[in-house]
Amino acid sequence: MDEIRNFFIAFILIFLILVLWQYLFLPKPSVKTEMPKKEESKEITIIDTTKEEEAKIDTTKEEEVVLENKKMRLTFSNLGGLLKSVYLKDYDCELIRKGGKYFGITIFEKEGKLNLDSEIFKYQKQEDNKEIVFETQLGTKRIIKRYQLKDDYYLSLTITGLEDSNYFSLTFNKFLNFTERDTHEELNYTNYQYYFNRQFKKFDFKKMKEDERVYEKELKYLTMKNKYFLFALLPDFPLDSCQFLRREKGGGITIYLSNKKEINLSFLFAPLEYALLKSFKKDLEKAVPLGWPKSFSLAILFLLKFLYKIFQNYGLAIIFFALIIKLIFFPFSKMQNEQMRRMQLLQPKLEELRKKYKEDPQTLNRETMQLYSLYKINPFSGCLPLIIQLPVFWALYSVFRQTIDLRKASFIFWIKDLSQKDPIYLLPIVMGVFFLLQNILTNPDKKNIFLVFIFPIFLTLIFLNFPSGLQLYWLTFNILSILESLIFQKGGFKWQKIKMKTKP
């Protein structure tokens, strides 16, 4: 009974960590921000500018111009000098939604406000295809927007001609585009993030009920993020405030700036690749959701990348990784098998005790524990290997589900994306069958129907929607565990030296 109880406890731990953790223990997206003082609120009134003057834009006069490098292709419009498209070449995806307009300017003055999205800008493109200058004349104002594309994922913007304005806003209309087929599943990974004073905050885009306003001035960066990509604003001067728009408005960010002779801003459209974001030295790697424990996830990610360089196939890399993990945990599994072997040899004596003290449960438990002590059996040792592997398993879950390295990584035949579930559910079913076989081989009490049959079935149901990479790992690990158990049962690993000496 103690063994059954221990396995049941281990099962509950697995269920809580793998299924309920992300709903119960992850940080809540709600963030308390300090509201401005009354004097500040009079100077800056937050206004929603996402839908204004859309009907006034004359698209017949629109012209498009393209900047590109080896990493991405950017499409701009002369209407407002806006960015309309960001295409990442290595990942074959578009990051701006249809109808999205980034870098729109709205000027706020005493007479009212002026949205420049419908203004026709003259433009001049440099021969190197890396820079474009938009210019328009508004009365006495000569407004210039200069875009410069760097060699990687960086884009810089310089704005001049707004020094006579009270303040103005820069809008990024609409949230990042969803790049994956399962948009409903991807929505669970969408959020706004910002980083200041070594504090990382975020708003869950899916759960936002209203627009969120942030008055922290010393922002190191702020982002819009979907499952695998992000848009980041990297200001090098204090912002007056910023506003994150809710899902019902299509999402987007508006930042508010006071008058300056020249505004220089840096932006980033990049994949959520940990090493890449860390290379920018802006703490952007904190935006990568590696789960808990983070150190395990980073180690696993590094090892998988290393194995991928050898095999050039992430499926083979995962199989070899499972073999490495099996070797690392071999001392624990060896101890578990030894304990199982002792339990099997002890079953006749345990059965005698059950018959002898069937009317006295307390005496039965006491005599059973004395018997365990006599033969050096630890009832909890059977759960130890499983509990020790839980951090590794959870780190694997985070790596396979949320890191871009496994996005669209194929294995064989029908498995074209190891970050997604098996489309025909073959891997989890085969995994469940092998897990059932492993239980039949290793469970000393064949009468325990829960441990032998129900637990593998329930675990298989949980795994059905897990990433196929994780299913492949667990299947490989189960096959290796079965081979290990067969070797133990056949007398391998020096079984002959195990002696069960009784104490007087």
User: Do residues 269 and 349 both lie within one domain?
Assistant: no
User: What single-letter amino acid sits at 461?
Assistant: L
Residue 88 has a pLDDT of 95
pLDDT greater at residue 369 or residue 383? 369
Does residue 434 lie within any of the structural domains?
yes
User: Do residues 448 and 307 both lie within one domain?
Assistant: yes
Contact 15, 462 (CB under 8 A): yes
CA distance 141 to 121: 13
Residues 6 or more apart in contact with residue 82 via CB below 8 angstroms: 76, 101, 102, 103, 104, 117
Does residue 18 lie within any of the structural domains?
no
User: Do residues 261 and 310 both lie within one domain?
Assistant: no
Does 485 have pLDDT greater than 90? no
pLDDT digits (tens, 9 = 90+) for 162-172: 876 678 899 99
Does residue 13 lie within any of the structural domains?
no
Q: Of the residues 288, 309, 329, which one is the last residue of a structural domain?
A: 288
Does residue 1 lie within any of the structural domains?
no
Count of domains observed in the chain: 2
Q: Residue 161 to residues 107, 108, 140, 164, 259: CA-CA distances in angstroms?
A: 11, 14, 9, 8, 9
User: Do residues 279 and 305 both lie within one domain?
Assistant: no
Does residue 2 lie within any of the structural domains?
no
Task: Place 3 in a pLDDT band, splitting at 50, 70 and 90.
Answer: very low
Task: Place 89 in a pLDDT band, splitting at 50, 70 and 90.
Answer: very high
Residues 6 or more apart in contact with residue 266 via CB below 8 angstroms: 154, 155, 156, 157, 233, 234, 235, 236
User: Do residues 268 and 313 both lie within one domain?
Assistant: no
- Residues 272-286, mean pLDDT to the nearest whole number: 89
User: Do residues 316 and 453 both lie within one domain?
Assistant: yes
Task: Place 174 in a pLDDT band, splitting at 50, 70 and 90.
Answer: very high
- Residues 442-469, mean pLDDT to the nearest whole number: 76
Question: Could you tell me the two tokens for 358?
Answer: 């069937």
Instruction: Report how far Cα 286 is from the mean position of its chain's Cα atoms.
Output: 11
Range of the domain at 325: 295-493
Task: Place 447 in a pLDDT band, splitting at 50, 70 and 90.
Answer: low
User: Do residues 249 and 303 both lie within one domain?
Assistant: no
Instruction: Measure the CA dihedral 443/447/452/458, to 10°.
Output: -140
User: Do residues 184 and 61 both lie within one domain?
Assistant: yes
Question: Could you tell me the two tokens for 288?
Answer: 């990568």
Query: In CATH, what number is assigned to the domain containing residue 195?
Result: 2.70.98.10
Contact 103, 81 (CB under 8 A): yes
Does residue 357 lie within any of the structural domains?
yes
- Residues 436-440, mean pLDDT to the nearest whole number: 79
- Please state which of the ranges 88-92, 416-420, 486-490 shows the lowest mean pLDDT: 486-490
CA distance 84 to 62: 12
Q: Of the residues 288, 307, 335, which one is the last residue of a structural domain?
A: 288
User: Do residues 249 and 302 both lie within one domain?
Assistant: no
Work out the number of other CB atoms within 10 angstroms of the CB of residue 24: 8
CA distance 111 to 325: 69
Mean pLDDT of the chain: 80
- Residues 320-345, mean pLDDT to the nearest whole number: 82
User: Do residues 280 and 305 both lie within one domain?
Assistant: no
Does residue 7 lie within any of the structural domains?
no
Residue by residue, DSSP assigns 256-309 as EEE--SEEEEEEEEEE--HHHHHHTTSSGGGGS---SSHHHHHHHHHHHHHHHH
pLDDT greater at residue 102 or residue 463? 102
Question: Could you tell me the two tokens for 85?
Answer: 């498209």
Instruction: Report how far Cα 182 is from the mean position of its chain's Cα atoms.
Output: 15
User: Do residues 88 and 71 both lie within one domain?
Assistant: yes
DSSP state of 59: G
Q: Of the residues 260, 288, 316, which one is the last residue of a structural domain?
A: 288
Does residue 337 lie within any of the structural domains?
yes
- pTM confidence score: 0.76
User: Do residues 182 and 220 both lie within one domain?
Assistant: yes
pLDDT digits (tens, 9 = 90+) for 191-203: 999 988 888 889 9
Residues 6 or more apart in contact with residue 335 via CB below 8 angstroms: 381, 384, 385
